[in-house]
C-alpha cells in the first residue's frame, strides 16, 4: 500500500532532522513514534493530505492523547505535550518549506503540567526540627534556633532571613514585627510570634555578641563564626544538620519551612489574601497553590473517615 501525502511529508521531516539537524537516535525514534500516532489519527478521520489538516484536527488529537483510546492508554500532560511538539515541528517545517499556506498547529498550546504541590511538613515535625537546632547553649546553637524559628514563624525566604539587619527587627515592641525585603526590593512587615521573638532575643543577647566580636562590625543579625553575615549556603547546611538530628526523612530545605508556614496558616482558617501579604506574593494566584494542599488533606481525611467514601 502506497504512502499517503501526509506520511511522505512526515518521512521528509524525519529525514531532515536526521541528516540536516543531526538529532540524536533516541530523539528521532521518539519523533517517529509520535508522528506515527499523528498520521494514524489523521487516517482514521479521513485526512491524508497536509493541506487539509486544520487546527481542529490538532486540538482533537491532543484531546484523544489525554483521554486515551482502545489501543492507547491516556497520556500524562508532559507526554501529550511531547507528542504535540512533534506535530508542531512537522507542520512548521512544511510551512517553512512552502508546502503549506498556514501552519494548523501553530496556535495549539500544550496542556499545562499538573501543579506541583508545595512540600510541607506537619507541626510535630516542625517542632522536632526546631528542637533539634538547639544543641547546647552555644552562640551557634542560639543562632540556629533563632534562624529556624524566624523562617517558620514569618514564612521568610532564606535570602530574606539572612539579609536581616538589626534595625529590621523590633522584638521589644508591643506588637513585635520583622521587616523583610523580598523580590524587587519590595518590603513588608510580618508579625513576629512569641516563639520566634524569644529565640531571637536569646540569640541577640547571649549569642550574637560573641560572634560579632570576631568580625569587623556588621549590622547583620545572623553571623557566622568569623563574625560576618551568614550565607545562604551556611543556612542550608545548618538546616540539614538539624533535620538529620530530628530524623526527618525526605528533602528538607529552607523553603520547606516557608511552605509549612503557609499551609499551616490556611489549615488554621487564615484568608488566602492575608497569607499572600505575609509571603510577599505579587499575585494571589501564586498563593492559591497552597489551597490545593489543604484540599488534598480534606480529601484524605474524608476518604479515611466517611463510611461511604470507599
Would residue 104 count as lying in a domain?
no
Report how many helices (DSSP H) and strands (DSSP E) the chain contains, helices first: 14, 3
pLDDT band at residue 1 under the 50/70/90 scheme: low
Would residue 309 count as lying in a domain?
no
Q: Is the pLDDT at 46 greater than 80, yes or no?
A: yes
3-state DSSP call for residue 70? coil
Tell me: do 206 and 295 sit in the same domain.
yes
Tell me: do 166 and 273 sit in the same domain.
yes
Tell me: do 61 and 135 sit in the same domain.
no
What does the pLDDT look like over 49-73, one tens digit per residue?
999 999 999 999 999 998 888 788 8
Burial class (CB in 10 A: 0-12, 13-18, 19+), 275: buried
Would residue 310 count as lying in a domain?
no
Q: Which sign does the torsion angle of CA 290, 292, 294, 296 carry?
A: negative
CATH number, domain with residue 203? 1.10.443.10
Tell me: do 167 and 45 sit in the same domain.
no
Residue 36's alpha-carbon distances to 8, 23, 280, in angstroms, are 11, 18, 48
Tell me: do 169 and 220 sit in the same domain.
yes
Residues of the chain with pLDDT > 70, as a percent, come to 93
Tell me: do 71 and 140 sit in the same domain.
no
Number of independent structural domains in the chain: 2
Backbone angles phi, psi at 178, to 5 degrees: -130, 140
Tell me: do 168 and 245 sit in the same domain.
yes
- Grid cell 545562604 is found at 232
**pTM score, whole prediction:** 0.61
Active site residues: 157, 183, 255, 258, 281, 290
pLDDT for the residue numbered 150: 95
Tell me: do 195 and 289 sit in the same domain.
yes
Would residue 115 count as lying in a domain?
no
Give the contacts of 113 (CB within 8 A, at least 6 positions apart): 77, 78, 81
Tell me: do 71 and 128 sit in the same domain.
no
Would residue 110 count as lying in a domain?
no
CB neighbourhood size of 310 (10 A): 6
Tell me: do 152 and 249 sit in the same domain.
yes
Q: Is the pLDDT at 303 greater than 80, yes or no?
A: no
Would residue 292 count as lying in a domain?
yes
pLDDT for the residue numbered 306: 67
Q: Chain-wide mean pLDDT for the chain?
A: 88
Tell me: do 66 and 198 sit in the same domain.
no
pLDDT for the residue numbered 156: 94
Query: Domain range holding 10?
Result: 5-96
CATH number, domain with residue 16? 1.10.150.130
Tell me: do 164 and 282 sit in the same domain.
yes
pLDDT for the residue numbered 101: 85
Amino acid at each position: 500500500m502506497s504512502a499517503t501525502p501526509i506520511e511522505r511529508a512526515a518521512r521528509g521531516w524525519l529525514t531532515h532532522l536526521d541528516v540536516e539537524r543531526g538529532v540524536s537516535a533516541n530523539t528521532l525514534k521518539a519523533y517517529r513514534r509520535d508522528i506515527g500516532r499523528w498520521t494514524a489519527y489523521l487516517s482514521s478521520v479521513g485526512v491524508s493530505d497536509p493541506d487539509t489538516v486544520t487546527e481542529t484536527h490538532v486540538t482533537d488529537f491532543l484531546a484523544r492523547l489525554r483521554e486515551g483510546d482502545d489501543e492507547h492508554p491516556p497520556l500524562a500532560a508532559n507526554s501529550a505535550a511531547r507528542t504535540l511538539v512533534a506535530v508542531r515541528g512537522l507542520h512548521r517545517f512544511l510551512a517553512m518549506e512552502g508546502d503549506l499556506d498556514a501552519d494548523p498547529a501553530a496556535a495549539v498550546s500544550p496542556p499545562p503540567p499538573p501543579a506541583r504541590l508545595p512540600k510541607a511538613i506537619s507541626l510535630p515535625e516542625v517542632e522536632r526540627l526546631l528542637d533539634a537546632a538547639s544543641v547546647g547553649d552555644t552562640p551557634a546553637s542560639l543562632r540556629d534556633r533563632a534562624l529556624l524559628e524566624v523562617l517558620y514563624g514569618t514564612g521568610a525566604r532564606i535570602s530574606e532571613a539572612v539579609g536581616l539587619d538589626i534595625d529590621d527587627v523590633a522584638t521589644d515592641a508591643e506588637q513585635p514585627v520583622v521587616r523583610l525585603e523580598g523580590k524587587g526590593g519590595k518590603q513588608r512587615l510580618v508579625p513576629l510570634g512569641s516563639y520566634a521573638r524569644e529565640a531571637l532575643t536569646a540569640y541577640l543577647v547571649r549569642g550574637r555578641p560573641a560572634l560579632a566580636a570576631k568580625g569587623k562590625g556588621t549590622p547583620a543579625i545572623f553571623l557566622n563564626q568569623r563574625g560576618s553575615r551568614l550565607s545562604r549556603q551556611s543556612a542550608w547546611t545548618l538546616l540539614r544538620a538539624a533535620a538529620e538530628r530530628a530524623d526527618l526523612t525526605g528533602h528538607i530545605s529552607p523553603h520547606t519551612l516557608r511552605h509549612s508556614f503557609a499551609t499551616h496558616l490556611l489549615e488554621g482558617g487564615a484568608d488566602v489574601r492575608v497569607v499572600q501579604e505575609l509571603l510577599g506574593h505579587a499575585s494571589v494566584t501564586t498563593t492559591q497553590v497552597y489551597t490545593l494542599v489543604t484540599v488534598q488533606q480534606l480529601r484524605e481525611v474524608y476518604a479515611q473517615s466517611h463510611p461511604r467514601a470507599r
